[in-house]
Structure 1
Amino acid sequence: MSPRRRRAVVVGLVGAYALLAAACRPLTGPALIAVLAAGAPLCWLGVRRRPRPATPVGARPAAVWLGLLALGVAFELGLWLGPDDLAHPTLSTLADPVLSTYPGRVLGYGLWAGSGVWLVSR
């Protein structure tokens, strides 16, 4: 199978998965099963695949990315431990209006599964 055709098949499968998974009500058993149905095989593939050799990362770029990660973790932790109100919303509170609609959930599931496929293929 050509790489272009394989990519089209993968995009079609991710799209079909997102359409089906988004039909599940959030925070229910069927939604959990939908997440596990895609997440477990992707995790298994990711663990089993041997990654391509990567070029070493310098100290400066690593420090920048680790600093951004630390800043994001500190931000979320501060919001999680602090008040959960509209003046200080968490990321999940900000995402609720989008993810409460069917098209938003389709987009969310598609981005989630697509990023998993992308990570496994790296």
Structure 2
Amino acid sequence: MEQTTAGTLASPWWRRVVWWAAIGYALVAAAARPLTGPAAWAVLAPGVALLLAGLRRTPVRRPRVGRRAAVTWLGLGVLFCLWELGAFLAGNDDAHPTFSILTDSVLATYPGRVVGYLLWLGTGAWLVTR
């Protein structure tokens, strides 16, 4: 196997293939008009595939998460949910934007949707490997 400059082993060839496949998928999926059936399938298909991959995988044994870290992440999650709920109940407009309204201007463009799909695929792959 080849070595990188940092001295660690380079990733296997199939990881590069998966990476290029993800880029290709994002380029094709981003062509779908937002809020249509093809766009929904473009999100659902890799989501289901990653879910099934995660269910089949045996998790790596890791040390327990400390209470402080758990409370921090739980607190951030609760704050995000409260912000979304509050903005939704207050009218879901420019004065009270939800996360989807804040990202609309980025995801309205083709490059923004490509980046969005790559983030979606990357986050799913990251979760599967944990």
TM-score by length of 2: 0.86
Alignment of structure 1 residues 36-47 onto 2, 5 Å: 36-47=44-55
Distance in structure 1 (CA, Å) of the matches to 2:45 and 2:81? 28
Q: What is aligned with 1:32?
A: 40
Instruction: Give yes or no for contact 2:88–2:96 (8 Å, CA) kept in 1.
Output: no
For 2:122, give the aligned amino acid.
G
Name the structure where helix makes up a greater proportion of residues: 1
1:81 to partner: Cα distance: 1.1
Q: 1:109 aligns with which of 110, 117, 126?
A: 117
Counterpart AA for 1:41: A
Q: Identify the match of residue 13 of structure 1 among 16, 21, 28.
A: 21
Which is further off, 1-10 or 32-41? 1-10
Identity rate, percent = 54
* Distance (whole Å) between structure 1 residues aligned to residue 47 and residue 76 of structure 2: 26
Tell me if the contact between 2:31 and 2:110 (Cα under 8 Å) persists in the aligned partners.
Answer: yes
Q: Within 5 A, what are the aligned runs for 1:33-112? A: 33-112=41-120
Find out whether 1:22 has 2:30 as its counterpart: yes
Give the deviation of 1:4 after TM superposition: 4.0
Aligned residue type for 2:63: T
Question: What do you get for the CA RMSD once the two structures are aligned?
Answer: 1.6
Of 5, 11, 18, the match for 1:3: 11
Deviation of 1:115 (Å): 1.2
- Give the TM-score, by structure 1 length: 0.91
After the TM superposition, which segments of 4 or more aligned residues of structure 1 sit over 3 Å from their partners?
none
**One-letter identity of the residue aligned with 1:10:** V
Deviation per CA, 1:56-89, whole angstroms, max 9, x where unpaired?
Answer: 1122221111111111111111111112221221
SS of 1:3's equivalent in the other structure is coil
Long gaps (5+) in structure 1: none
